[in-house]
């Protein structure tokens, strides 16, 4: 079983003309890469979760901006800017909740607007490629730092610790290392035997990112790994086997409320009841200081078939029944022990803590408040 750290989730092709993505819909049974260079194919890859996880879709958004801009057949800068704006808006429409997608597109667009008067279109294309590469490189370092802070928490709990996680916020969800699974990778780098950790992965209905991706990552790293149906989390927590919970996030509001994969808020509520520390792992790009609270976060609603049919041999709900399928939920900041960023761990009151770390609102060209 290939250690997932050896797999690239998203990279630019050697000729710099397309994006190579690990197709995560096929994991863990098949490890296959796809190459995309058309706007519709990139949009589909993000929408269908071939590439998924907030930081990984951020990197994909940045490369999409560059690859599609690079194809534009114009030397007129005004025309180039107009077309890039359309690219940004189209790619951003693929998934609404994870802020990293719009964050990366906004960052690419800021570079364009700031430097358009001092560059030719050809020079600008090179500059955009460099920026997209920088976003990916930075993501690796950010994830490592989150892992280091998370590992310090594991060290305090000691070897033999039980860790619970929900969905997949591992190396597959980022450029490398992951956020919620990074502490375990860093523990191994620091000499811990993988068997010093027991990881409980919620399977994460309906798309099974926990069973298919987190369990694969942790098992391939040699860690003592368990998959549980989502409704078993309470049983495991009550058993006393869980010392800490690490989850990822798709968007954190200024007050510390955060959106993550559907089911996360239930895990947090149970953790509070049993007194288990509950940590959110968040690159600062996931913290959206333009939103005061989680009430402002738009929640992606997905197809009914993901609940009624997918993974089953035959349909498992009556025809015509109503279906609820939000992809994310918002967890109240009062349930959060701490938010682990690459700059340190934020504690309540979160807004002040973020501001002290220098995390501030960023300029938005897409995903503006009025678009929500």
Residues in contact with ligand MRU by the rule CB under 6 A: 49, 52-55, 98, 167, 169, 173-174, 178-179, 209, 248-250, 260-261, 327
Contact 102, 137 (CB under 8 A): no
CB of 317 to ligand MRU, least distance (A): 21
Question: Where does residue 7 rank: exposed (0-12), middle (13-18), buried (19+ CB within 10 A)?
Answer: middle
DSSP string for residues in 307-342: HHTTTSSS--S-TT-----BSEEEE-GGG-SEEEET
Whole-number CA gyration radius for the chain: 20
DSSP string for residues in 46-86: HHTTSS-SHHHHHHHHHHHHHHHHHT-----HHHHHHHHHH
- Return the number of other C-beta atoms located less than 10 Å from residue 173's C-beta: 29
CB of 121 to ligand MRU, least distance (A): 34
**Which residue's Cβ has the minimum distance to ligand MRU?**
248
Token digits of residue 277: 């520390």
223 versus 262: smaller Cβ distance to ligand MRU: 262
12 versus 167: smaller Cβ distance to ligand MRU: 167
CB of 159 to ligand MRU, least distance (A): 25
246 versus 350: smaller Cβ distance to ligand MRU: 246
- 295 catalytic residue (yes or no): no
CB of 280 to ligand MRU, least distance (A): 9
Contact 323, 317 (CB under 8 A): yes
Question: Among the options 139, 202, 250, 257, which is catalytic?
Answer: 250
69 versus 282: smaller Cβ distance to ligand MRU: 282
Query: Which residues are catalytic, by number?
Result: 250
């Amino acid at each position: 079983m290939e250690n997932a750290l050896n797999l690239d989730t998203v990279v630019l092709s050697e000729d710099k003309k397309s994006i190579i993505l690990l197709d995560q819909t096929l994991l863990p049974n098949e490890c296959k890469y796809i190459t995309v260079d058309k706007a519709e194919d990139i949009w589909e890859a993000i929408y269908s979760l071939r590439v998924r996880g907030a930081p990984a879709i951020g990197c994909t958004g940045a490369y999409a901006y560059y690859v599609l801009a690079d194809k534009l057949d114009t030397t007129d800068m005004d025309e180039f800017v107009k077309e890039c704006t359309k690219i940004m808006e189209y790619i951003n429409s693929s998934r609404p909740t994870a802020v990293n997608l719009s964050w990366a597109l906004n960052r690419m667009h800021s570079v364009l607007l700031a430097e358009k008067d001092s560059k030719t279109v050809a020079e600008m294309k090179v500059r955009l490629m460099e920026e997209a590469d920088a976003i990916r490189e930075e993501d690796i370092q950010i994830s490592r730092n989150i892992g280091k802070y998370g590992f310090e928490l594991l060290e305090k709990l000691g070897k033999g610790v039980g860790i619970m996680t929900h969905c997949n916020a591992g190396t597959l969800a980022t450029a490398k290392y992951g956020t919620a699974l990074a502490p375990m990778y860093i523990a191994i780098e620091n000499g811990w035997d993988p068997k010093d950790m027991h990881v409980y992965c919620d399977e994460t209905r309906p798309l099974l990112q926990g069973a298919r991706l987190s369990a694969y990552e942790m098992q391939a790293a040699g860690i003592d790994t368990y998959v549980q149906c989502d409704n078993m989390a309470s049983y495991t927590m009550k058993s006393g086997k869980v010392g800490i919970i690490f989850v990822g996030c798709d968007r954190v509001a200024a007050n510390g409320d955060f959106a993550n994969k559907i089911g996360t808020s239930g895990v947090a509520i149970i953790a509070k009841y049993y007194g288990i520390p509950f940590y959110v792992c968040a690159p600062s790009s996931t913290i959206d200081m333009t939103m005061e609270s989680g009430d402002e976060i738009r929640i992606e609603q997905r197809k009914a078939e993901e609940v009624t049919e997918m993974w089953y041999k035959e349909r498992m709900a009556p025809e015509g029944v109503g279906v609820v399928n939000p992809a994310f939920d918002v967890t109240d900041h009062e349930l959060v022990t701490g938010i682990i960023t690459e700059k340190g761990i934020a504690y309540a009151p979160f807004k002040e803590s973020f501001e002290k770390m220098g995390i501030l609102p960023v300029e938005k060209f897409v995903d503006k408040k009025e678009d929500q």
